[in-house]
Amino acid sequence: MQAILKKLTAGEGTSPAEWQALLECSQPAERQALYKAAYAVKLQTVGPTVYFRGIVELSNICSKDCYYCGIRRSNANVERYQMGEDEIVRDALWAHEHRYGSIVLQAGERQDAAFVDQIERILKRIKAESDGELGITLSLGEQSAEVYRAWFEAGAHRYLLRVETTNPDLYRQLHPATHDFDTRVACLDTLRDVGYQVGTGVMIGLPNQTTADLAQDIRFFRDHDIDMIGMGPYVLHSETPLAQRVDAINPVTQLELGLKMIAVTRLVLRDVNIAATTALQALHPTGREMGLQAGANIIMPNLTDTPYRKDYQLYEGKPCIDEDSTMCRGCLQKRVAGIGETIGLGQWGDSPHYLRRAGGRSLVEGTGADTGTGV
Ligand code: 5AD
Ligand code: FES
């Protein structure tokens, strides 16, 4: 294990089999060595600055039926909501006022024209009302190239679309037959072609998922030249078909695997942005801090208006359900300071990986926005 870590720290070539060996390390001392090496590479490549991406969960209406997700279409126990345009814009401007630099608009997947047009209007308003300063990431699922282009032109410049797993057989076990793995991968390529910074990720610790699968997921991120990674442990939601199929999952091993995956991804991909996702905190009270210490550099504070939060539970035990934006802001500031890191306020915080790819140039020029080169 030491030999593999040495090669990775020096930026030398390694194989998926070696990444898998790291993912399988089980002794506490080995895990600590892995996190320490990943943290050293994080400091070298992206530095000790954490960027905030305030997330607005603008609707839980979803046309999809993923077997693991609490807001899947067939879950009749969910009270469905759609935030109003004014509410969404107000939340975005709150983030701008508090110098978050960047936000994420996320929702269940919808492809109808009313929804597409509404997002376009919201993007234009946020851009105009923040003087082009607020960075906007979308996380709105699979769409046509035309829709991705319209939203890009309206002001979004990053897009998150988790591939969920890169093993097509496992993908089929987790989704109804109408959800197609190849379509999802094609969407990532389209997003790149349109000009977005592209983020993807997987769930970690899924039933029937092996460490070999996870090593291949990292290979996929590398081969698709991904700029941002958002991935987290799979967490049960009892009102889903997948929860009926599995026994209780062990939160300790699930958290460990999530952290090891962050660390190995940091060691292999080096200069990308990696989120310490909320699912880590569903498994342990300081799970997100642990994520930062294992190599992540992004946190997504929840901006969703409190009354809606209880209805956006993709998995059980999601934190921050009763809190509001101000409480999450204070809480996360303390958590980041608690591990000796600083928050990159007022900056987009693009990954050095992306800046290298784009020749150090922001795609949205002439806006006067900070492109986040200060990492
Ligand atoms: N556990 C963990 N993550 C989940 N997601 C959906 N359901 C769950 C779950 N039960 C993740 C998916 C999706 C993202 C928005 O939330 O990866 O892409
Ligand atoms: Fe929301 Fe801590 S981040 S309460």
C-beta 300 within 6 A of ligand 1: no
Structure confidence at residue 360 (pLDDT): 54
User: CA separation (Å) from 80 to 55, 269, 283, 294, 310?
Assistant: 18, 38, 26, 36, 11
Q: Is the CB of residue 161 below 6 angstroms from any atom belonging to ligand 1? A: no
Domains (ranges, CATH) in the chain?
A: 28-355 (3.20.20.70)
Q: What is the mean pLDDT of the chain?
A: 94
Q: Atom 18 (ligand 1): residue with closest C-alpha?
A: 162
Q: Is the CB of 312 under 6 A from ligand 1?
A: no
- Write the pLDDT tens digit of every residue in 19-39: 999 999 999 999 999 999 999
Averaged pLDDT, 260-285: 97
- Residue identifier of the C-alpha nearest atom 1 of ligand 2: 328
CA of residue 27 to ligand 1 center, whole Å: 28
pLDDT tens per residue, range 90-103: 999 999 999 999 99
**Pairing verdict, β 342-343 and 102-107:** unpaired
Cα→Cα distances 201→66, 113, 302, 309, 316, Å: 16, 27, 19, 23, 20
Residue 323 CA, closest ligand 2 atom number: 4
Q: In Å, what is the CA distance from 259 to each residue of 34, 158, 160, 282?
A: 10, 24, 20, 13
Which amino acid, one-letter code, is at 203? M
Q: How far apart are CA 188 and CA 159, in angstroms?
A: 9
Q: Which of 76, 108, 67, 80 is nearest to 237 (CA)?
A: 67
**What pTM, to 2 d.p., does this model score?**
0.94
Of the chain, the percentage scoring pLDDT greater than 70 comes to 96
Could you tell me if 136 and 103 are in contact, meaning their C-beta atoms sit under 8 angstroms apart? Answer: yes
Residue type at position 313: Q
Give the pair of three-digit tokens for residue 71.
């807001």
Look at residue 369 and tell me whether its pLDDT is greater than 60.
Answer: no
Element (H, E) at 246: none
For the segment 8-18, what is each residue's pLDDT rounded down to a tens digit? Answer: 999 899 999 99
Mean pLDDT of 274-302: 97
- Alpha helices by DSSP H, listed for the chain, are 2-9, 16-23, 28-45, 85-97, 113-129, 145-153, 168-174, 181-194, 211-223, 241-245, 251-269, 278-283, 287-293, 306-309, 325-338, 352-357
Q: Which ligand is nearest to the CA of 234?
A: 1
Residues 6 or more apart from 17 whose CB is under 8 A from it?
Answer: 215
What confidence tens digit (pLDDT) does each residue in 328-368 have? Answer: 999 999 999 999 999 999 999 999 998 887 775 444 333 33
Q: List pLDDT tens digits, range 212-240.
A: 999 999 999 999 999 999 999 999 999 99
For residues 139-162, average pLDDT: 98
pLDDT > 90 fraction of the chain, expressed in percent and rounded: 92
Instruction: Determine the pLDDT at residue 358.
Output: 79
3-class secondary-structure state, position 100: coil
